[in-house]
Amino acid sequence: MVVLWALALALAAGLAAANPPNIVLIFADDLGYGDLGSYGHPSSTTPYLDQLAKGGLRFTDFYVPVSLCTPSRAALLTGRLPVRMGLYPGVLEPGSRGGLPLEEVTLAEVLAARGYLTGMAGKWHLGVGPEGAFLPPHQGFHRFLGIPYSHDQGPCQNTTCFPPTTPCDGICDQGRVPVPLLANLSVEAQPPWLPGLEAHYVAFARHLMADAQRQGHPFFLYYASHHTHYPQFSGQSFARRSGRGPFGDSLMELDAAVGALITALGDLGLLGETLVIFTADNGPETMRMSHGGCSGLLRCGKGTTFEGGVREPAVAFWPGHITPGVTHELASSLDLLPTLAALAGAPLPNVTLDGVDLSPLLLGTGKSPRQTLFFYPAYPDEIRGVFAVRSGKYKAHFFTQGSAHSDTTADPACHAASPLTAHEPPLLFDLSQDPGENYNLLGCAAQVTPEALQAVKQLELLKAQFDAAMTFSPSQMARGEDPALQVCCRPGCSPWPSCCHCPEPQP
């Protein structure tokens, strides 16, 4: 299967697209920088993703601005830092009154205006709201099949994660409705049969591709898989097959889904006309230990501004247009909206964007225009501003704070017990030599070089200028929660919330 798939990629490399490309944006969940075989993991079973990396442009320095689900997804879809739209602190809950403001312009809206058929499969996590006001059908997506938030944001103690009867690990969030699967704005199942969910999403994606081709439109597929977020799950073909436990089985199913999407494109003759981008929302949740993923040689993980939290695996694949290789240029999920708009010939929204156009880098006509990256913590405030700044090869941490998501690692700086700490002077690292952030260049005065002093002065200036120019929008999370906003397949039922139970039939 993998060999045939590789042959299809080689044939597609000779094709050219005269029209705006189809776009498949695959977004993994809680996937670490070191989790894929192409990024160095010795035992991950990821042949399709590894082949994608071999046939595409693999990024070594690709980032997200916040290492948490909701803000990272908002940045991806708008090209704007989450504080600009009020998506802080933390994440949205099933009953949150807030969400991604409707005045924000999403990538789906940009592409829909250009004539794209737009669809989303998977995890949304940008709000539900009254009557589903914040859901994808109101944010530029013509079609949606997915769960409106993380699949652990509801009880899972009686839920099967691996067939035939292996229950999910843990109990997840209690006192809430079972997690719903939505088809556009309607409840399709509550809860869904998790072992069949990824296959359901792949079928949805195939239909979107085929319908767009039949209608003569380009398509945009945002495929936001739940893999590899806790609690891990998979179908029968992957359960206990990876050799890496539940996390590996989940990752193996994600890999196979990527292979299925590429195969579907090949079957439709669309490989040479489709740009595929793969990345993830934030680093691994190491508090889950072997169930939580791996950041490789990078420090810490989810919830922190260390490299393991914000640096992500990323691949751009477009046969005949993107030359296979590896790039060390700086890039961010913020850059995808302006990049994809440029490739689609779509105008940019009339708002302040924090992303830049990477199309010259992708097409081999130039370098990345990005020189600087700013990182906010999961719980930001205007007084402290950004916690860390990277410019070129140097990164400075002005504040650090551990996170429960990064507990259990050997490094105590990652843990929730590590308090919010101001650093004066900041911690300074040369990421070209020390991607693991082990050696603070300002830690020993006798060894501080003039180059390091110059670098820290520049980073301090960049932070001061950036913070002074940034205005936080009012927090959407601060609007609070209303239990009545939780999606229920049986509105008004009792006893609530357990009565919201319309399970998907099991095969």
Q: For the chain, what's the residue count?
A: 507
Instruction: Point out which residues pair with 146 in neighbouring strands.
Output: 122, 182
| Catalytic one of 41, 125, 138, 226 | 125
- Residue 69 among the catalytic residues: yes
Structure tokens at 241: 């097959």
What are the beta bridge partners of residue 155?
172
56: tokens are 């595409």
Residue 235 to residue 56: CA distance in whole angstroms = 28
- Beta carbons of 256 and 227 less than 8 angstroms apart: no
Active-site pick, 69, 161, 488, 500:
69
HSE value, Cβ hemisphere, 13 Å, CA-based, for 282: 30
Give one DSSP letter per residue of 300-337, joined into a string. Answer: --TTSSSHHHHEEEEEEE-TTTS--EEE-S-EEGGGHH
Whole-number Å distance between alpha carbons of 341 and 131:
30
Q: What are 224's strand-pairing partners?
A: 122
Tokens, residue 260: 């299925």
**Which residues pair with residue 222 across a beta bridge?**
25, 120
Question: CA of 78: how far to CAs of 60, 86, 101, 150, in Å?
Answer: 23, 13, 11, 20
Whose CA is closest to 416, among 362, 381, 378? 378
Task: Let me know if 300 is a catalytic residue.
Answer: no
Question: How far apart are alpha carbons 395 and 414 in whole angstroms?
Answer: 17
Burial of 423 (0-12, 13-18, 19+ CB in 10 A): middle
The set of catalytic residues is 69, 125
